Amino acid sequence: MRQFTRAGAGGTMLAADNIVRTGEDQHKEPGDMATAQRIDGKAKAAQMSAEISLQTEALRKEHGLQPGLAVVIIGEDPASQVYVRNKKRTAEACGFYSEQHTLAEDAAEEDVLKLINDLNTDDAIHGILVQLPLPDHLDEQKITQAVVPNKDVDGFHFVNIGKLTSGNTSDAFVPCTPAGCMLMIKDHLGTDLSGLNAVVIGRSNIVGKPMASLLLQANATVTVTHSRTKDLAAVVREGDIVVAAVGRANMVKGDWIKPGAVVIDVGINRVEVTVDGETKSRLTGDVDYAEACESAAAVTPVPGGVGPMTIVMLMANTLRAARFAAGLEA
């Protein structure tokens, strides 16, 4: 595997400019063609899922406890239906008890809140996920805050956000997408990101902001950018780590990427392409993958990068919630 290492004694606490690459990457010049490593989120998620299954089995044998995940979906959004199906399937593959609650598009807020309240007090359920986005008539904040913090496996409750922001993550639930991104970043750069510049594109509560908190906690120097950022390309070019979470297909171009950067593409965009005269729909990220591969050290593909990691982090959080409920360490 190609890896970054940092020059100097111990390889830590050094300025970003001292980053050198080892092995076959060491002699790569900026502009060399398509030599970045493809970060295989799908393979990593499969490994983690197998590990979670083993831990689930041990929990069942030693403590008679089966982690339980409840997924609530409101409305007919086709993308949400796919995500929920995948989450339920993965939960079952991990050996969890899982249940899905499907409510009509026009469900009353009080019915949604009553369901969440029932799940909050159900001992078989350790994690509750309310699939977003919600239909317009529902108050997203009221609903996400109705989930008790110790079952908030999405990490959206203010208690969990506060713990993350204040660096008290030992018993916090961290939002799944940034948590998965962080694992992939640490695989490449190690756990201490001292001296590295990280640029996060997007400031949403579910991706951009918690991502920035995690990077900061790992000692990166973090810049959060958004739609009002001036000369975004120039800011991104400073990033040894770039996390793109915007929702604009192929917005981040190859010449925005600092040579040797690690690029995490969170975006999921559906675009139409013409193949042999036929129009087809396919998924693409926020980063122009082919261009980014020309200068980055490593890039996540879309699909197959952040998406599978997000789902497996939900399972990791649910297992953790079950362990906490049983008075065990995470």
Judge contact between 94 and 56, C-beta under 8 A: yes
Catalytic residue, chosen from 25, 44, 131, 151, is: 131
Residue 178 interacting with ligand NDP (CB under 6 A)? no
Residue among 327, 329, 274, 318 at smallest CA distance from 53: 318
Quick note: the x/- pattern for ligand NDP over 263-302, rule CB under 6 A, is ---xxxx---------------------------------
Question: Restricting to residues 27-86, which ones interact with ligand NDP according to CB under 6 A?
Answer: none
Rule CB under 6 A: choose which of 232, 243, 263, 319 binds ligand NDP. 232
Cα separation, 148 vs 262, in Å, equals: 36
Cβ–Cβ contacts within 10 Å for residue 33, how many? 7
Residue 177 interacting with ligand NDP (CB under 6 A)? yes
Residue 304 interacting with ligand NDP (CB under 6 A)? no
Bridge partners (DSSP) listed for residue 102: 73
Q: For residue 17, with 0-12 CB atoms within 10 Å meaning exposed, 13-18 middle and 19 or more buried, which class applies?
A: exposed
Rule CB under 6 A: choose which of 82, 191, 227, 253 binds ligand NDP. 227
Catalytic residue flag (residue 87): yes
Catalytic residue, chosen from 25, 152, 154, 286, is: 154
Cβ–Cβ contacts within 10 Å for residue 306, how many? 29
Q: Identify which range of 12-20, 115-123, 147-155, 197-205 contacts ligand NDP by CB under 6 A.
A: 197-205
Quick note: the x/- pattern for ligand NDP over 87-116, rule CB under 6 A, is ------------------------------
Catalytic residue flag (residue 81): no
Residue 228 interacting with ligand NDP (CB under 6 A)? yes
Cα separation, 57 vs 138, in Å, equals: 38
**Helices (DSSP H) in the chain: which residue ranges?**
41-63, 78-93, 109-120, 140-144, 158-165, 176-189, 208-217, 232-236, 289-292, 306-325
Residues making contact with ligand NDP (CB under 6 A): 177, 201-204, 206-208, 225-229, 232, 245-248, 266-269, 306-307, 310
Write out the catalytic residue numbers: 87, 131, 154
